[in-house]
Amino acid sequence: MRIKALPRWPTASLTARLALLFAAMTASLLIVVGLVMGRAVDAHFRELDDHELSGKLNLIGNLLQRADSPQAWAALPQRLDDAFVGHDTVGVLVRDAEGSVIYAVHVDHFDAAHAAGDALPATGAMWQKGSRHFIGRETLLHRPAVADAPGEPLRVLLSLDISHHVHFLEQVRVRLWLGIALSAVVSALLGWLAAHKGLAPLRQVTDTARQLSAGQLGVRLVEGDAPAEVRELVEAFNGMLARLEGDFRRLSEFSADIAHELRTPISNLMTQTSVALSQTRTADDYREVLASNLEEYQRIARMVSDMLFLAQAENGRLPRPEEAVMLADELRALVEFYEALAEAQQVTMTVQGAATVTGDRLMLRRAVSNLLSNALRHTAPGGRIDIRLDCRAGRVCLSVSNPGEPIPPDQLARIFERFHRAGAERSRHGEGAGLGLAITRSIVETHGGRITVQSADGLTTFCIDLPQRLTGA
């Protein structure tokens, strides 16, 4: 299974990505807030400054209005000085129409050009001189007519030093940026911490996986305080380990079983042959030994071919079954096959029902044959083996029931395993190596079916559940 890598960050760890994401989110949020706040503060200060400028202009206008006598006119500069004393932030330049300066204070606040006579816009302007910032505006005021002189328009230039506001704003901006940067770093750290801690179980999974070997399949991860998302992974991982452990244990037992099953006949053969060779015997004795050996060989050969069959089934190498199989016909043929044996054991067999499945006729025969021989083996004289075919909801249930000793539950679960024999003390005579039911299960599973067994009230029932073949299909 391959998971496509994200195109952008092919290698960055999840923790790093989350930390970066947190930092970026915090920073962008604060930047937006900062910009909005900055604008608002800026506008507020500008309004304040404009207001102050307007106030000063009104003051100048009032003083001019009152200079309606030559004495008053002569005293005007003095009055203006009085008005602006202590107001170091205000620069005033009053000129008459010819351009001669009537009053000036803090002229150095103005640009050289404006001081020399250039006009300032009436809507206001902003400039910088050295480290100081100013706003200013120009307006026309009328000198009232007095006895010896007519009224005339006066150009009034007014400037206001707003350096403290500008500096304040700059400071605010710098702090804001610092704050944003710090928050981003902190949130990145927090994000990293959260992700790191949250993903700790993942690292545990990795470590465990790295340490795993066949001998240590008993290891399990602790679900503990893992977050919900990771807990699922941990559960799945633990489940996988449990299944692997089970499979592996069965495989080991299986190998041990093979060795054991082969050891018995081989040891028989060796003993028998060496005893036979230890002294001269009659031809009949030799013949007897050879015939006995042949029987052991046949047992081994059958076991080997059964094992091969099982291995093929497990590797999915059995052919895909495709023909329509009329199960009732097959059952009749099988009952016919076992009839003589059943009669000899005084056991009767009945067949009921009909069904068609898709599959391989010979393999299905073999599967059911194993069930029948198993049933015959465990049915006491006078008993009856019932074979039924039931169709229900697109499934076929082929059941074989026989009266007999109930199988204990712990044995029921293992009855389809290889080399399993009901009752270890059972004699070997006339019985296979305990592979029959395992083969039946393999065949059933190859056909997309399931096999189950129930044992209660003196009745043991095997049920093969197969998909029904639809007519015309």
Nearer to other proteins, 152 or 339 (CB): 339
Residue numbers of the site for other proteins (CB under 8 A)?
290-295, 297-298, 301-302, 304-305, 308-309, 312, 317-319, 333-334, 336-341, 343-344, 362, 365-366, 369-370, 373, 376-377, 430-432, 436
Work out the number of other CB atoms within 10 angstroms of the CB of residue 353: 16
CA distance 420 to 413: 11
- In whole angstroms, how close is the CB of 393 to other proteins at the nearest point? 32
- In whole angstroms, how close is the CB of 469 to other proteins at the nearest point? 21
Residue 209 · residue 36 · CB < 8 Å: no
- In whole angstroms, how close is the CB of 390 to other proteins at the nearest point? 25
CA distance 29 to 176: 12
In the 3-class helix/strand/coil scheme, how is 391-415 assigned residue by residue? EECCEEEEEEEEECCCCCHHHHCCC
- Closest to 327 measured CA to CA, from 375, 371, 364: 364
- In whole angstroms, how close is the CB of 330 to other proteins at the nearest point? 10
Nearer to other proteins, 74 or 308 (CB): 308
CA distance 71 to 105: 21
The runs of H, that is alpha helices, within 162-282 are 163-198, 200-211, 228-277
Nearer to other proteins, 182 or 290 (CB): 290
387 is written with which tokens?
């074979």
Nearer to other proteins, 166 or 347 (CB): 347
Nearer to other proteins, 53 or 310 (CB): 310
Task: Please identify which residue in the block is written with the tokens 């697109």.
Answer: 394
DSSP 118: P
Torsion of CA 23, 26, 30, 31, to 10 degrees: 50
CA distance 412 to 431: 19
- In whole angstroms, how close is the CB of 209 to other proteins at the nearest point? 36
Nearer to other proteins, 134 or 338 (CB): 338
- In whole angstroms, how close is the CB of 311 to other proteins at the nearest point? 10
Residue 444 · residue 427 · CB < 8 Å: no
- In whole angstroms, how close is the CB of 290 to other proteins at the nearest point? 8
- 128 — alpha (psi -120 to 50), left (phi > 0) or beta? beta
Nearer to other proteins, 54 or 348 (CB): 348
- In whole angstroms, how close is the CB of 333 to other proteins at the nearest point? 7
Nearer to other proteins, 225 or 295 (CB): 295
* Residue 287, φ and ψ in degrees, nearest 5: -60, -40
Task: Please identify which residue in the block is written with the tokens 């076991």.
Answer: 303
